A = this chain, B = another copy of it.
Amino acid sequence: MNNRASLVNFILSVVKISKNDAEQIANTFHPIEIEEKNYLLKEHEVSDDYFYLERGLMRTFLYNLEGEEITIDFFTENNIVFEVTSFFNRIRSEAYIQAITNCKGFRISYEELNTLFHDKPAFRDFGRAILVKEFMASQSRNYGMINRTAKERYQNLLSTEPQILHYAPLKYVASYLGVTDSTLSRLRKKI
């Protein structure tokens, strides 16, 4: 039982494979730490990290046409963190991935991922399940943007991911929810 135990458990929670296989997969990952405010990925780079976040909080953001930071997504503990498009298509990223708090976890590169896909067929299902999960999350966010008011979106975030509201500054959350800082500040006061 090494310190990759949480990664092993995460893998087992995603696909039905043997514990032995999960451990072999986990062992090909490399531990890394990212300090608060540091970056896992910057604009114009080609993402090469498939990163299991064991502890901490991260976000992706990019700059809109007005040059404002827009937080696209938050990543919480026990999730895979990566920029799908840049990582899989091997193209330059438009987005940044940044640690909000000190973070640690385990990563592999694109090449290592493909080797694993080849060596461990069960890992293909894992990879697909992660993609499908991310896709679902994105769709359900879309749905929320269309069918819920800003207030409801805020309350939903508050009840499902309170850690985010605890650690992320208001302005990150505001752009993520699609409202201005002022509006979020007022919504928050009402609740």
Q: Is the interface of A mostly helix, strand, loop or mixed?
A: helix
Q: How many Å lie between the Cα of A70 and that of B143 in the bound state?
A: 9
Interface with B: A98-106, A131-139, A162-170, which one? A131-139
Question: How many chain copies?
Answer: 2
Specify which of B64, B85, B136 is in contact with A84 (CB 8 Å cutoff): B136
Contacts of A20 in B (CB 8 A): none
Nearest first, the 4 closest Cβ-Cβ pairs linking A and B are: A146-B178, A138-B138, A145-B145, A135-B135
Q: Does A142 contact B (CB under 8 A)?
A: yes
Q: Which of A74-89 contact B (CB under 8 A)?
A: 84-85, 88-89
Contacts of A128 in B (CB 8 A): 88, 127-128, 131
Question: Which A residues contact B (CB, under 8 angstroms)?
Answer: 64-65, 70, 72, 84-85, 88-89, 124, 127-129, 131-132, 134-136, 138-139, 141-143, 145-147, 175, 178
Instruction: Tell me how far the C-beta of A111 lies from the nearest C-beta in chain B, rounded to whole angstroms.
Output: 15
Instruction: Tell me how far the C-beta of A10 lies from the nearest C-beta in chain B, rounded to whole angstroms.
Output: 18
Contacts of A138 in B (CB 8 A): 135, 138-139, 142
Q: How many Å lie between the Cα of A70 and that of B144 in the bound state?
A: 12
When the two chains form their complex, are residues A72 and B139 in contact, meaning their CB atoms are under 8 A apart? yes
Instruction: Tell me how far the C-beta of A171 lies from the nearest C-beta in chain B, rounded to whole angstroms.
Output: 14
Instruction: Tell me how far the C-beta of A131 lies from the nearest C-beta in chain B, rounded to whole angstroms.
Output: 5
